[in-house]
């Protein structure tokens, strides 16, 4: 199951490019999204996670959303990305991915679902996943976390969301369109990156300590 997508995703891309007609890129991208997300969800469900794990994950997810609603009205100055990175760092790649994806679903229940929802889920999920891969169960320093935060905002989040808008709404995408999408998206991504870095520098350490305290006091979360 775990390595299944590694085979099917290239197959999908190859078959898609050769077999499908108009809008083939969108179909391929959609299929890739599903194949990347599904195994993580299936593995997680199969493990029958205990109550404590679920509550902790829901708490982190709700904090990210509530933090966005309660404090930061500026459109791109969102704490969500930083919180997902912290979650992935504290709980590992799989939970990091799911917290990222769930955060998007819940956040969009307040701000509106759209065709962008699955892309955002994948983008934020990946950021949590990669954070888990790099930082989980390692000694945490703030600077590498912050650098990762900036890169994640620009390369992963922007890197997925900017082309997504072209893929979804330009039936015949061209290279220039992708470049333009990146260019117009960059100021927003830059603000997003700055916000993430600021959040990580100011809150990552205390928050990681808090989650660590729960692990020590109550066992694994």
- Which residues lie near another protein (CB under 8 A)? 22-23, 26, 41, 44-45, 48-52, 54-59, 61-63, 65-67, 69-72, 79, 98, 102, 105-106, 109-110, 112-115, 168-172, 174, 176-177, 180, 198-199, 202-203, 206-207, 209-211, 213-214, 218
Residue 185 CB, shortest distance to another protein, in Å, is 12
Q: How far is the CB of 89 from another protein (least distance, A)?
A: 14
- Cα separations (Å) of 6 from 1, 14, 34, 92, 203? 10, 13, 13, 20, 35
For residue 208, what is the enclosing H or E element?
helix 175-218
CA distance 71 to 24: 41
Q: Using the minimum distance from each CB to another protein, give the nearer residue, 80 or 127.
A: 80
**Residues composing the chain:** 221
Q: Which is nearer to another protein, 52 or 155 (CB)?
A: 52
Closer residue to another protein in complex, CB, 61/131: 61
Contact between residue 84 and residue 96 where contact means Cβ atoms under 8 Å apart: yes
């Amino acid at each position: 199951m775990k390595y299944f997508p590694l085979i099917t995703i290239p197959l999908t891309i190859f078959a898609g490019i050769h077999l499908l007609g108009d809008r083939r890129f969108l179909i391929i991208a959609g299929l890739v999204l599903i194949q990347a997300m599904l195994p993580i969800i299936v593995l997680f469900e199969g493990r029958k996670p205990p109550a404590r794990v679920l509550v902790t994950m829901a708490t982190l997810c709700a904090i990210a959303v509530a933090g966005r609603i309660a404090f930061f009205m500026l459109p791109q100055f969102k704490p969500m990305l930083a919180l997902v990175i912290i979650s992935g760092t504290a709980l590992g790649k799989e939970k990091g991915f799911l917290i990222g994806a769930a955060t998007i679903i819940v956040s969009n229940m307040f701000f509106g679902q759209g065709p962008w929802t699955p892309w955002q889920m994948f983008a934020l999920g990946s950021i949590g996943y990669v954070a888990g891969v790099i930082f989980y169960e390692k000694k945490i320093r703030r600077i590498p976390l912050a650098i990762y935060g900036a890169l994640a905002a620009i390369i992963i989040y922007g890197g997925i969301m900017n082309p997504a808008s072209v893929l979804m709404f330009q039936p015949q995408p061209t290279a220039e369109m992708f470049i333009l999408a990146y260019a117009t998206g960059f100021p927003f991504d830059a603000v997003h990156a700055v916000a993430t870095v600021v959040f990580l520098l100011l809150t990552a350490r205390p928050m990681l300590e808090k989650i660590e305290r729960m692990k020590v006091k109550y066992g694994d979360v």
